[in-house]
Chains A and B, each alone.
Chain A
Amino acid sequence: MKHTVVALMEDKPGVLNRVVNMFSRRAFNIESLTVGHTELPHVSRMTVVVDGTTNDVEQVVKQLYKVIDVLKVSDLTEDKSILRDLTLMKVSSNRETRGEIVQIAQIVGAQVVDLAHDSVILQIAAEEEKIDDFVRLMRPFGIKEMVRTGRVAMARGALNVERAPDLAELAAHQHHRRVDGVRRDTGKKKVAVDLTGEAG
């Protein structure tokens, strides 16, 4: 099952590298990954689509948490979230087909963002399945070029990905010390080495 995992992370150099590196090292399969700014300064938000069992995804979440710069990780279940993919598509067009292309685009909610004599660029932001359908509809006209951002997601209504934790100073961690001097007992037999070859 596909899971949408959202991670808030400190916006520091190399943080994306750390996350991607971890996915690679742990042999996690990622369908898509997007990163961008958030409403919080110095915090970026990553959306990862992972295909796997609940256990697999639990590992993804836990391993993400181990990346020092990652602040908060959530597994957004699809039915409670708005999922969107932004797609740009350059479709061949001419005098005969242009009208039909624009009409289909309007019906599915795509916009014409560029118009040339032999092509149009269409933009659609929708759930992936809807975009897949749109791609199928456009294919007969000739798709010259296409780019999809991969999924971004946001929990519906009152539900939200928890804000980055309080950035207050962390309390110093208690330093653990070893305890020396455990009690000895004589439960385990110490067998003397037999060099004579006689003992059994």
Chain B
Amino acid sequence: MAISPAERASTQHSNGRSEGTRLSGARILCESLIREGVDTIFGIPGGVVLPLYNVIIDYPELRHILVRHEQAGAHAADGYARAGNRVGVCLATSGPAATNLVTGICSAMMDSVPIVAITGNVATTVLGKDAFQETDIVGITMPITKHNYLVTRVEDLARVVKEAFHIARSGRPGPVLIDIPKDVFTSETTYHYPASVHLPGFKPTLDGNSKQIKAAASLWSRAKKPLILAGQGVTISGGQRELLALAEKTHTPVVCTLLGLSAFPESHALSLAFPGMHGAGYSNQAIDQCDLLIGVGQRFDDRVTGKVAAFAPNAKIVHIDIDPAEIGKNVRCDVPIVGDARRVLHALADEVPSMEHPEWLAQIDEWKRQMPLTAIRPTSQFLPQHAIRFIYEATKGDAIIVTDVGQHQMWAAQHFWYDKPGSFISSGGLGAMGFGVPAAMGAKVARPNDTVWAIVGDGGFQMTSQELATIAEERIGVKIALMNNGYLGMIRQWQEIFYERRFSSAYLGGPDYLKLADAYGIKALRATTPEEGRRIIEEAQAYDGPVLVDLQVIAEENVYPMIPPGGSIENMMLEPGDRD
């Protein structure tokens, strides 16, 4: 593609200097991304985005990381967004590349992660004609994006980028997709980046209704057994400090949901571990027995509630969420408060009196003693729980933990103490296996000075292990803890418990992971005993650069406690032998 004189003149671009000049759509996109503060794009080139790739190399502000599969690009943008607290960007060409993004976009949607996914499409002249690599990605992603766009005129492009970033990060964050036909990349127009957005149908409510806040405070002041259930909305809004202040003022214990881990420091005396299916018995007991449940920035997911009719049966429920549709969706609500978690918590702190609940806290301490979450049974075998604890010890808790999906995800939530905001990243809602490695890659790119551990199972690892190539090429210093038990562990556990040990496709072979990592040029270490496990995890922690530890943990270990799906605390299964 020839570069027009106008374009050549604009290679000294960026931050406003190109305003008012005539540029191609490809350049307008790059300029607009820079205006939105984008510094990294996870993508793969393809036919219709070649005009974009032709100019992207003129913009050194934009680091393009060549991933090896578009799904990984979307997960990497997700990890980048969560760790960096900014909008992540992924890029793919049309057709199969666009459809490959779907899993990653959907995971970001379920977990309220702000990403902007950019896809190319066939030229507007052949749109709808089943052209080579054409797909209706806007139609496909409509239910899994917060909003999406098909840009058919280059004149709309800058405005669409502005709106997309605004929508992605405002209110309840989420993914936005921009689909750009090839001829829009090549068409020219006068570049003007809008100063503001004009979206009359999108005005998130940030401040809670003061009447409802007073009503919540009034319930709180009368409660004998109050409990806070805090979700990721607290960390997204930056409300950890407000939550801490409120919990301490009211002596109210705090349960963080899986995605909410680190919203409240887990080492704090008022902290209870995460609740739900594999959550702490004492946390579920506290939810069962509390007389006031203040849910903030979480959505009463079915993995938290179990059987809804038996959820918090003794409690009045206050539900604080920025998304009004979450309130009353899954569980009943006595006091709804729509607003930004941080702002509402701040406003609540002014309304609630100082309180003490010594009996309630003593009761919870008693449950903690009766049903400890973090006890590991004494054994010389190498348990996956050991590995998580070794990572905690080696990092002293100062790390970003990114998990894949499955048993190890639950152990990682149970056996690590998340004190630093944003230190736990996981595909919670969608439960997308294959998330761990690429998301950790994105997190490390966003926070290069922080330690990032990917904790993955051998099942999920094999779904996106091609990203070892990206990690090696870009020298992205993630540490990968591979919980290698030769099984799809959670499948094996469910087949053991619910299907009379009729194991069906639960056993999972795999390559020699040391050789695999070595083939990619990545340092790798192996452990078959807990002693070796501790040693290689310490070695990996000290190593400067990407490293994989192959942790050959015991094959058959179950995650406990466990409440079967649709069950309640009455159905909680504890680890055998742990009952006394």
Contact = CB atoms under 8 A, between A and B. Distances in A.
Q: Enumerate the 3 nearest inter-chain pairs by beta-carbon distance, A residue then B residue, closest first.
A: A187-B269, A62-B325, A25-B143
Interface in A36-52: none
Given A62-B325, A170-B197, A18 B142 contact: yes
A10 B201 contact: yes
B380 A195 contact: yes
B354 interface: no
A38 to B, nearest CB: 14
A24 B144 CA distance: 13
A20 B85 CA distance: 33
5 contacts: A22-B143, A55-B328, A173-B166, A183-B268, A189-B374
Given A71-B201, A187-B267, A193-B386, 6 more contacts: A172-B197, A178-B85, A179-B239, A185-B267, A191-B376, A195-B531
Interface string A188-200: 1111011111111
B247 to A, nearest CB: 11
B200 A10 contact: yes
Contact of B201 (A14, A69, A194, A195): A69
A56 B329 CA distance: 9
Nearest to B341: A176
A180 B265 contact: no
A199 B379 CA distance: 9
A9 interface: yes
The dominant DSSP class at the A interface is loop
Contacts, number: 142
Band of interface residues on B? 35 or more
Interface in B163-185: 166-167, 169-171
A105 to B, nearest CB: 43
Contacts of A117: none
Contact of A185 (B199, B269, B323, B380): B269
Nearest to A15: B201
A194 B240 contact: no
B490 interface: no
B530 A195 contact: yes
B271 interface: yes
B252 to A, nearest CB: 14
Contacts of A196: 378, 380
B121 to A, nearest CB: 14
Contact of B270 (A69, A184, A187, A198): A187
Interface string A58-91: 1100110111111100000000000000000000
Contacts of B266: 188
Interface stretch (B413-421, B479-487, B503-511, B550-558): B413-421
A176 to B, nearest CB: 5
B429 interface: no
Given A14-B138, A62-B324, A187-B268, A175 B169 contact: yes
Interface residues of A, number: 55
Contacts of A189: 374
B238 interface: yes
Interface stretch (A122-130, A139-147, A151-159, A161-169): A161-169
B419 A173 contact: no
Interface of A: 9-10, 13-14, 17-18, 21-22, 24-25, 55, 58-59, 62-63, 65-71, 164-167, 169-170, 172-180, 182-191, 193-200
Nearest to A64: B325
Nearest to B197: A170
Given A10-B200, A197-B380, A188 B375 contact: no
Nearest to B269: A187
B142 A17 contact: yes
A59 B271 CA distance: 33
Interface string B240-272: 110010000000000000000000111111110
A177 B85 contact: yes
Given A175-B169, A184-B419, A59 B325 contact: yes
Contacts of A194: 376, 378
A199 B376 CA distance: 10
B202 A68 contact: yes
A67 B206 CA distance: 18
